[in-house]
């Protein structure tokens, strides 16, 4: 069995909702059945084979070749298997994903890992705004799982995030961890203004000294032994976070304008 | 244009026709007796073996007005989860529990419905309601104007105003809101909520106005009756959803002193307090009371399991239930100091004792009320379930085996508290036609709808007889709206625009001076701007107003 490979035929002019292209939805379907699935594209519906060349037969392992930033909802509500994207991914990558693995060799757009509840997402590139955030109308962002971003993240990474781990190896934009409810975000690079704005609980791990706003309270330097456990858990991950072993932090509590139970740990 | 429907099995309860094979002719949107001599039949449909009924009428469905839009705004996931792309014919849209206006019209038509009535048109919001209904294609529309917690009425009552003045105010409201009836929601309770009362029993006073719900109901029921409005006062009772509210409902029935009254979503008002969990079915008592009091009619407001949203003017109840919101977000608000509104998303679960018993209570009421002319098929869309679940509900009523199988799957504790399993009754096609067509048209006061007699509007639905009633009612073969084929094989094939049905009772216009002064003093809008005119409804060329006679309740179909 070889991986089910969908190769985008031509550059897209309109965005395409790819939510049906998940291992769970395609399981047990023949190539011709998959070819005839209709994908929403703007105000039209397009057949899969109008957009992609299809080869392979293992729908638990899907590869998108020649991908485009206009392919939205890749891996949406995914519950098993793996999805590999060569090229860029559009918005809502791994939207409400429950299990399985998504790997992108390229950039992803806004709302990556929004509503994600489990599984692992690895983006070898940058992501847009609202990484692991809640889409408008939802009360919670990411609810579980692990996200690794090797590049930079845009603004509002982890907005209203509820659980899970987001590891950003590059920089994060403004309002990182804003309105965060719980969970862990790590940023190896810099963060923009207003990190932890409206943060209620949760942990933000930073490795460069951020510029913090007034309602984040400096609680001094500490050695926190539990961090050893956390970094041990990171060791298995394909990320630069795996190499970290440091328990000495400067701790900031906040956002005191909200519950103030969140913490920003800055490693020296 | 003459069409002929040949050889179908016709169910037309308004004329006592129960499954007779007959031909139906319709010329230019109206049913006629036969073709004129030498007249050519333009279209003929051979309906041998098919079931023919008038187009169905949903006499209580929230399809327009402020709260529906609030529900849409509150639940983007409802819209994301059910997108509908456009076709060559139909517009795009979305929504499961609260579909967009266009999709509402298409889905109703595709189920064989040709009319729907919005039960909570707040006079202040009537324009919004009519704009939304004006965007709802194919089906006919109409609304019941909401009174009973508005300060104007409560002031008049506390000043002990003459009944004639109240009649004039009620009639003015019907005119201004382009309504076909009057609805009262938690009589006086929405106002009481603003004075910090969180419960209001039938004989409990509104702490500011010193008026009880009983007073409000009596005054309004009498007004509606004396104005000759065919639709009886449409009552959403007090204490919705409260265990033991059965007694309130029975008192309400006794309290109107014989005036006609329509009790809406009565399932939510039929709860007892027996059993270990102090929540039990009052269906038997309520059904007995309806059977006994011929002035009372009711629609059920059946609960069906799944995700939906409750949208109601009753902010007292919605505030009380807000903690049950699923997903956890809700809105309770005042609207222009004239009434209130509460929107709480809800997920009814078959393994939840209360939800399962609510489901059983609704079905018990359906099956225990003897007269199908006085009980109506609704889910109080979207409060009990979206209207798209009607075919499933019809199957539950018509198929005892299916019903009992569903019953055996609900929470065992709820099963133990319900007599549903022992009820043998199965609705017949004739009774379903009464409930959803003839009876509904009679109740609302539509003289030319809901039946297939000569002169009626040619709103006709054709089904293929199928033992699986859900499949049968889900996908009609043909639906004609005003003589035009709009749905074929469960798919819209032509988009037309229905009428807005209203009544215009006579009244003394001098009441406008009082009302104008009141609006000038207390409201943000001028009285003139509150009134919705016929022209405004017909303006875009897609709708028109159809006025029905106010001659009191019609007893026989013409």
The pair of three-digit structure tokens given for residue B245, joined into one six-digit string = 């509210």
pLDDT tens-digit series, residues B363-419: 999 999 999 999 999 999 999 999 999 999 999 999 999 999 999 999 999 999 999
Q: What percent of chain A has pLDDT over 70?
A: 100
In a domain, A30, yes or no: no
pLDDT band at B555; cut points 50, 70, 90:
very low
pLDDT tens-digit series, residues B423-441: 999 999 999 999 999 999 9
Chain B: give the shortest CA distance to residue A43, in Å. Answer: 6
In a domain, A4, yes or no: no
Size of interface A-B (CB pairs under 8 A): 18
Host domain of residue A171? 110-267
Q: Is B75 on the interface with A (CB under 8 A)?
A: yes
Please report residues of A whose CB lies closer than 8 A to that of B92.
43
Give how many domains chain A has, as a whole number. Answer: 1
Answer whether B76 sits within 8 Å of A40, measured CB to CB: no
Answer whether A44 sits within 8 Å of B328, measured CB to CB: no
DSSP SS3 for B485 = strand
Q: What is the mean pLDDT of residues A16-44?
A: 93
pLDDT tens-digit series, residues B120-175: 999 999 999 999 999 999 999 999 999 999 999 999 999 999 999 999 999 999 99
Answer whether B328 sits within 8 Å of A40, measured CB to CB: no
Q: What is the pLDDT of residue A174?
A: 97
Residue-wise DSSP of B224-244: HHHTT-SSPEEEE-SSTT-TT
Cis peptide before B382 (omega within 30 of 0): yes
* Among candidates B83, B85, B329 on the partner chain, residue whose Cβ is nearest the Cβ of A139: B329
DSSP lists the bridge partners of residue B487 as B479, B492
pLDDT tens-digit series, residues B487-500: 999 999 999 999 99
In a domain, A141, yes or no: yes
In a domain, A192, yes or no: yes
Residue-wise DSSP of A226-254: HHHHHHHHHTTSSSGGGG----EEEEEEE
DSSP SS3 for B362 = helix
pLDDT band at B553; cut points 50, 70, 90:
very low
pLDDT at A44 over 50: yes
Answer whether A40 sits within 8 Å of B85, measured CB to CB: yes
Q: What is the mean pLDDT of chain B?
A: 94
Give how many domains chain B has, as a whole number. Answer: 1
Please report residues of A whose CB lies closer than 8 A to that of B328.
139
Residue B335 has a CB neighbour count (10 Å cut-off) of: 19
Contact residues for B457 (Cβ-Cβ < 8 A; gap 6+): B29, B30, B31, B448, B449, B482
pLDDT tens-digit series, residues A75-126: 999 999 999 999 999 999 999 999 999 999 999 999 999 999 999 999 999 9
Contact residues for B235 (Cβ-Cβ < 8 A; gap 6+): B183, B184, B187, B217, B252, B261, B262, B263, B264
Q: What is the pLDDT of residue B257?
A: 86
Residue-wise DSSP of A24-43: HHHTT--HHHHHT-EEEETT
Closest Cα to residue B248, out of B208, B189, B305, B299? B189
In a domain, A175, yes or no: yes
pLDDT tens-digit series, residues B239-277: 999 999 999 999 999 988 889 999 999 999 999 999 999
pLDDT tens-digit series, residues A126-141: 999 999 999 988 889 9
User: Which regions of B270-415 does DSSP assign to beta strands (E)?
Assistant: 271-272, 280-281, 296-299, 306-312, 331-335, 339-348, 375-376
The pair of three-digit structure tokens given for residue B552, joined into one six-digit string = 């009191």
In a domain, B38, yes or no: no
Chain B: give the shortest CA distance to residue A244, in Å. Answer: 39
pLDDT at B556 over 50: no
In a domain, A16, yes or no: no
Q: Which of A137, A141, A160 to mutate to test the interface with B (most CBs of B within 10 A)?
A: A137
**Residue ranges of B 90-109 with Cβ closer than 8 A to chain A:** 92
Q: What percent of chain A has pLDDT over 90?
A: 94
Distances (CA, A) of A228 to A94, A148, B400, B542: 30, 20, 64, 70
Q: pTM, whole model, 2 decimals? A: 0.89
Chain A: give the shortest CA distance to residue B353, in Å. Answer: 28
Please report residues of A whose CB lies closer than 8 A to that of B71.
none
CA A232 – CA A228 distance, rounded (Å): 6
* Among candidates B77, B83, B85 on the partner chain, residue whose Cβ is nearest the Cβ of A138: B77
pLDDT at B558 over 70: no
pLDDT tens-digit series, residues A194-226: 999 999 999 999 999 999 999 999 999 999 999
* Of A13 and A43, the one with more pLDDT: A13
The pair of three-digit structure tokens given for residue A155, joined into one six-digit string = 């603004």
User: Considering Cα of B475, then B477, then B481, then B484, what sign does the dihedral take?
Assistant: positive
In a domain, B9, yes or no: no
Answer whether B75 sits within 8 Å of A137, measured CB to CB: yes
Q: Fill in the DSSP letter of residue B389.
A: G
Please report residues of A whose CB lies closer than 8 A to that of B76.
135-138
In a domain, B537, yes or no: no
The pair of three-digit structure tokens given for residue A171, joined into one six-digit string = 């920089």
Please report residues of A whose CB lies closer than 8 A to that of B75.
137
Q: What is the pLDDT of residue A1?
A: 81
Q: Which of B71, B73, B77 to mutate to test the interface with A (most CBs of A within 10 A)?
A: B77
Distances (CA, A) of B372 to A116, B183, B284, B391: 50, 22, 16, 17
Q: Which of B73, B85, B93 to mutate to test the interface with A (most CBs of A within 10 A)?
A: B85
Answer whether B74 sits within 8 Å of A137, measured CB to CB: yes
Q: Is A135 on the interface with B (CB under 8 A)?
A: yes
pLDDT at A247 over 60: yes
pLDDT tens-digit series, residues B438-471: 999 999 999 999 999 999 999 999 999 999 999 9
Host domain of residue B139? 53-499
CA B85 – CA B104 distance, rounded (Å): 14
Q: Is B89 on the interface with A (CB under 8 A)?
A: no
Chain B: give the shortest CA distance to residue A114, in Å. Answer: 13
CA A27 – CA A235 distance, rounded (Å): 33
Q: Is A42 on the interface with B (CB under 8 A)?
A: no
Residues B189-208 as b/e (b if ≥16 CB within 10 A, e otherwise) read: bbbbbbeebeebbbebbbeb
Answer whether B76 sits within 8 Å of A43, measured CB to CB: no
Return the ∠ at Cα A25 (arms to A22 and A28), rounded to 5°.
115
Q: Is A47 on the interface with B (CB under 8 A)?
A: no
CA A24 – CA A7 distance, rounded (Å): 19
Q: Which residue has the tokens 């959403």?
A: B236
Q: Is B76 on the interface with A (CB under 8 A)?
A: yes
In a domain, B437, yes or no: yes
Answer whether B77 sits within 8 Å of A43, measured CB to CB: no
Cβ atoms of residues B344 and B320 within 8 Å = no
Please report residues of A whose CB lies closer than 8 A to that of B325.
none
pLDDT at B232 over 60: yes
pLDDT tens-digit series, residues B329-369: 999 998 888 888 999 999 999 999 999 999 999 999 999 99
The pair of three-digit structure tokens given for residue B167, joined into one six-digit string = 């009649």
Residue-wise DSSP of B90-114: S--EE-SSS--HHHHHHHHHHTTEE
Q: Is B74 on the interface with A (CB under 8 A)?
A: yes
CA B436 – CA B452 distance, rounded (Å): 14
In a domain, B488, yes or no: yes
Cβ atoms of residues B200 and B154 within 8 Å = no
Q: What is the pLDDT of residue B476?
A: 97
Computed over its alpha carbons, how large is the radius of gyration of chain B?
22
Answer whether A43 sits within 8 Å of B92, measured CB to CB: yes
In a domain, B365, yes or no: yes
In a domain, B410, yes or no: yes
Q: What is the pLDDT of residue B557?
A: 31
In a domain, B523, yes or no: no
* Among candidates B77, B85, B327 on the partner chain, residue whose Cβ is nearest the Cβ of A43: B85
pLDDT band at B552; cut points 50, 70, 90:
low
Q: What is the pLDDT of residue B554?
A: 38
Q: Which residue has the tokens 């327009």?
A: B64
Q: What percent of chain B has pLDDT over 90?
A: 91
Q: What is the mean pLDDT of residues B15-34?
A: 95
Cβ atoms of residues B350 and B305 within 8 Å = yes
Chain A: give the shortest CA distance to residue B83, in Å. Answer: 9
Answer whether B77 sits within 8 Å of A40, measured CB to CB: no
CA B33 – CA B430 distance, rounded (Å): 22
Closest Cα to residue A227, out of A208, A207, A212? A207
**Smallest CA–CA distance from A39 into chain B, residue:** B85
**Smallest CA–CA distance from A40 into chain B, residue:** B85
In a domain, A206, yes or no: yes
**Smallest CA–CA distance from B92 into chain A, residue:** A43
Q: Which long-range contacts link B285-291 to residues 24+ away (Cβ below 8 Å)?
A: B285/B246, B285/B250, B286/B246, B286/B249, B286/B250, B286/B365, B287/B364, B287/B365, B287/B368, B287/B369, B288/B368, B289/B249, B289/B250, B289/B253, B290/B253, B290/B263, B290/B266, B290/B369, B290/B371, B290/B374, B290/B375, B291/B369, B291/B370, B291/B371
What's the CATH code of the domain at B363?
A: 3.20.20.140
Q: What is the pLDDT of residue B38?
A: 87
């Amino acid at each position: 069995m070889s991986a089910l490979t969908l190769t985008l035929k031509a550059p897209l002019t309109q965005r395409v909702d790819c939510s049906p292209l998940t291992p769970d939805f395609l399981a047990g379907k023949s190539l011709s059945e998959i070819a005839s699935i209709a994908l929403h594209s703007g105000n039209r519906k397009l057949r899969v084979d109008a957009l992609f060349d299809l080869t392979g037969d293992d729908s638990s392992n899907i590869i998108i070749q020649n991908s485009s930033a206009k392919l939205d909802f890749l891996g949406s509500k995914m519950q098993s298997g793996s999805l590999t994207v060569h090229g860029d991914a559009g918005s809502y990558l791994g939207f409400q994903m429950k299990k399985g693995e998504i790997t992108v060799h390229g950039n992803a757009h806004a709302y990556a890992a929004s509503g994600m509840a489990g599984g692992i997402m690895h983006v070898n590139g940058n992501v847009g705004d609202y990484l692991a955030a809640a889409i408008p109308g939802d009360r919670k962002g990411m609810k579980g799982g692990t996200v690794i971003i090797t590049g930079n993240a845009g603004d509002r990474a982890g907005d209203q995030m509820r659980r899970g781990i987001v590891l950003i190896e590059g920089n994060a934009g403004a309002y990182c961890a804003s309105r965060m409810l719980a969970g862990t975000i790590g940023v190896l690079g810099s963060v923009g203004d207003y990190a932890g704005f409206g943060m209620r609980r949760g942990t933000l791990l930073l490795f460069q000294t951020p510029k913090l706003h007034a309602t984040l309270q400096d609680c001094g330097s500490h050695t926190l032994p539990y961090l050893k456990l956390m970094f041990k858990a990171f060791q298995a991950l394909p990320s630069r976070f795996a190499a970290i072993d440091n328990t000495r932090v400067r701790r900031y509590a906040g956002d005191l304008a909200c519950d103030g139970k969140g913490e920003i740990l800055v490693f020296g | 244009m003459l069409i002929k429907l040949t050889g179908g099995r016709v169910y037309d309860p308004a004329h006592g026709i129960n499954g007779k094979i007959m031909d139906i002719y319709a010329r230019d949107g109206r049913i006629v007796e036969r073709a004129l001599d030498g007249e050519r039949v333009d279209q003929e449909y051979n309906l041998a073996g098919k079931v023919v009924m008038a187009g169905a009428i949903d006499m209580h469905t929230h399809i327009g007005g402020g709260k529906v839009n609030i529900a849409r705004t509150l639940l983007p996931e409802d819209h994301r989860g059910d997108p509908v792309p456009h076709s060559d014919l139909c517009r795009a849209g979305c929504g499961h529990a609260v579909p967009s206006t266009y999709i509402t019209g298409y889905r109703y038509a595709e189920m064989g419905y040709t009319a729907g009535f919005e039960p909570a048109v707040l006079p202040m919001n009537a324009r919004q309601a009519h704009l939304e209904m004006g965007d709802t294609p194919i089906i006919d529309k109409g609304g019941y104007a909401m009174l009973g917690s508005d300060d104007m009425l409560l002031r008049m009552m506390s000043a002990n105003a003459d009944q004639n003045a109240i009649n004039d105010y009620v009639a003015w409201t019907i005119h201004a809101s382009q309504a076909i009836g009057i609805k009262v929601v938690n009589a006086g309770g929405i106002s009481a909520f603003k004075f910090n009362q969180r419960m209001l029993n039938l004989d409990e006073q509104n702490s500011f106005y010193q008026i009880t719900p009983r007073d409000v109901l009596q005054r309004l029921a009498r007004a509606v009756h004396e104005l000759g409005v065919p639709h009886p006062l449409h009552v959403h009772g007090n204490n919705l959803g409260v265990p033991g509210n059965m007694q309130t409902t029975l008192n309400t029935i006794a309290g109107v002193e014989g005036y006609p009254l329509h009790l809406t979503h009565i399932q939510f008002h039929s709860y007892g307090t027996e059993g270990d969990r102090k929540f039990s079915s009052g269906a038997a008592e309520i059904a007995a009371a309806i059977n006994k009091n011929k002035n009372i009619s009711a629609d059920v407001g059946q609960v069906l399991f799944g995700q939906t949203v409750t949208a109601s003017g009753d902010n007292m109840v919605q505030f009380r239930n807000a903690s049950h919101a699923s997903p956890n977000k809700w809105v309770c608000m005042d609207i222009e100091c004239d009434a209130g509104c509460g929107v709480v998303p809800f997920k009814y679960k078959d393994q939840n004792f209360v939800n399962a018993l609510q489901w059983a209570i609704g079905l018990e009421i359906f099956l225990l009320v003897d007269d199908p002319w006085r009980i109506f098929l609704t889910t109080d869309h979207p409060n009990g379930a979206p209207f798209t679940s009607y075919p499933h509900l019809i199957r539950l009523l018509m198929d005892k085996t299916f019903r009992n199988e569903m019953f055996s799957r609900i929470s065992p504790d709820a099963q133990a508290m319900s007599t549903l399993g022992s009820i043998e009754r199965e609705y017949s096609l004739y009774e379903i036609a009464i409930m959803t067509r003839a009876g509904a048209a009679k109740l609302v006061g539509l003289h030319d709808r809901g039946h297939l007699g000569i002169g009626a509007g040619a709103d006709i639905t054709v089904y293929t007889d199928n033992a699986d009633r859900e499949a049968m009612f889900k996908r009609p073969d043909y639906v004609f709206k005003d003589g035009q084929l709009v749905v074929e094989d469960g798919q819209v094939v032509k988009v037309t625009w229905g009428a807005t049905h209203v009544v215009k009772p006579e009244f003394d216009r001098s009441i406008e001076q009082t009302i104008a002064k009141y609006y000038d003093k207390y409201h943000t809008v001028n009285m003139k701007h509150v009134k919705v005119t016929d022209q405004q409804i017909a303006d875009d060329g897609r709708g028109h107003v159809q006025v029905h006679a106010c001659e009191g309740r019609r007893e026989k179909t013409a």
